[in-house]
Amino acid sequence: MAGKQKMMKGCIAFILLLSLLFQAGCAFKDIDKRVFVLGFGIDPSEKMRNGFRVTLKLAKQVGDIKQSTSPPYLYISHDAESVAEAIHEMETRVDKVLDFGHSKIIVIHKELLTKDLDTFMDFFTRRGDIQMISYVAVADKTAEEIISFEPTTEAPASIALYNYFDNTGTESPFVVTTFLFEFRREVLGEGLDTIMPIIGTDEENHDFVIDKSIILKRGAPPVELTPEETKYFNSLMNKAYGFSYKIKEDDLIMILNFDEIRMNYKILLNDGDPRIDMKITKVGVVGESNKRLNSKKLEKYNKIAGKEIGKTVTDLLIKLQENNVDPFGFGLRYRATRLSRKGLDKEWEKRIYPDIKFNVKVNIELKSTGAVE
């Protein structure tokens, strides 16, 4: 009996060992066989008509990152009729697998915004290995210059460009953030036009400058916003606060710091002239003034600031309306609050939005004239 059990165990062990010979393996390639793509730059090609020049920012492998004296990156570019073709060609120029799992920034040349975006952005949204948390931005110069630019503040093993958008570094109201999934949804959808940051460099070519934005509507010329307009839009839509407003009336100049911003609006079509009633509340303190302020006159300062901010917001809304772009998503709100019917999607854009009025009311709540009075 004991002999049979030993024979059975021996047979089972032999079968298990034999089965290992037929295992195909997972074909996993270790990290030393990969090179990580950190960002993409896409420009119109100068070598071929309707082609693209794609630039990749790659992370070089180093033995000890602490001993590295410069950012360990390298850049390769290639011209092709499509983004996919360019990347496949570049795969033959490196001895490792291009790994897209760490790529978080896609920089686009301004000229490409007026072309059919599907021809090159489709590649990024179809690839499962390109993260859906990638940011999309527009280059003030060429995308190749921006993606290969290394600012003075960039340290080894860090990507300075990421810090502008992921809120782990600088947090500025002048910086708008657009994810890849937002870009695709808003470009292909209707009722909300996408807004993207414009990335430039300073005159000394030392650091990035990201304080402007551009609004993209499919089939229409892009509309660029100034730094001040970008700040106002960002504060209202994304509640970006912690920054200053300069208020000037006669010889009084005040710098107001707001730490709380609220905004809501209603679309009214059957109560007088068609209009959008927008209510804005901003809470903060006086950060600086050119005159001594009286804390008992806060209500007066509130009215002065509310009047000026209200005018600036109204001017911004009118500029967007005149250029027929809608980054606030008024059209989307209109469609979402009406019963579906034929022609609803064009009704707002063609008939209502071009003539609608804006009624902006700003409520400023200054808590004090400063910490020391």
35 vs 118, which has greater pLDDT?
35
pLDDT, average across residues 312-335: 93
- pLDDT classification of 266: cutoffs 50, 70, 90: very high
**What distance in Å separates the CA atoms of residue 216 and residue 218, rounded to the nearest whole number?**
6
**What distance in Å separates the CA atoms of residue 336 and residue 209, rounded to the nearest whole number?**
37
Looking at the predicted structure, is the pLDDT value of residue 173 above 90? no
**What distance in Å separates the CA atoms of residue 267 and residue 278, rounded to the nearest whole number?**
9
Q: Which of 9-13, 102-106, 214-218, 345-349 shows the lowest per-residue confidence on average (mean pLDDT)?
A: 9-13
Please provide residue 247's backbone torsions phi and psi, each rounded to the nearest 5 degrees.
Answer: -115, 130
Looking at the predicted structure, is the pLDDT value of residue 156 above 90? no
* CA angle, 156 then 58 then 94, to 5°: 135
pLDDT (0 to 100) of residue 2: 60
Average pLDDT, the chain: 85
- pLDDT classification of 372: cutoffs 50, 70, 90: low
**What distance in Å separates the CA atoms of residue 95 and residue 156, rounded to the nearest whole number?**
23
**Cα–Cα separations (whole angstroms), residue 54 to 84, 88, 278:** 9, 11, 43
Question: DSSP characters for 177-233?
Answer: --BHHHHHHHHHSSS--EEEEEEEE-TTSSSEEEEEEEEE-TTS--EEE-HHHHHHH
Summarised one tens digit per residue, pLDDT across range 212-262 is 999 998 888 899 999 999 999 998 888 776 667 888 887 888 888 888 889
214 C-beta neighbours (distance < 10 Å), count: 22
pLDDT, average across residues 184-200: 91
Highest mean pLDDT among 2-16, 202-216, 249-263: 202-216
Looking at the predicted structure, is the pLDDT value of residue 373 above 80? no
| Strands annotated E in 47-193 | 52-59, 73-80, 97-99, 105-109, 135-139
Residues 6+ apart with CB under 8 A from 193: 186, 215, 216, 217, 325, 326, 327
Instruction: Judge whether 280 and 309 are in contact, CB under 8 Å.
Output: yes
pLDDT, average across residues 41-60: 91
pLDDT, average across residues 125-136: 83
Query: Which residues, listed in sequence order, are joined to residue 216 by a DSSP beta bridge?
Result: 194
- pLDDT classification of 22: cutoffs 50, 70, 90: low
Summarised one tens digit per residue, pLDDT across range 62-74 is 766 666 666 678 8
> Token pair for residue 280?
């804005």
Please provide residue 184's backbone torsions phi and psi, each rounded to the nearest 5 degrees.
Answer: -65, -45
pLDDT (0 to 100) of residue 17: 74
Instruction: Judge whether 174 and 230 are in contact, CB under 8 Å.
Output: yes
- pLDDT classification of 341: cutoffs 50, 70, 90: confident
- pLDDT classification of 1: cutoffs 50, 70, 90: low
pLDDT, average across residues 147-176: 82
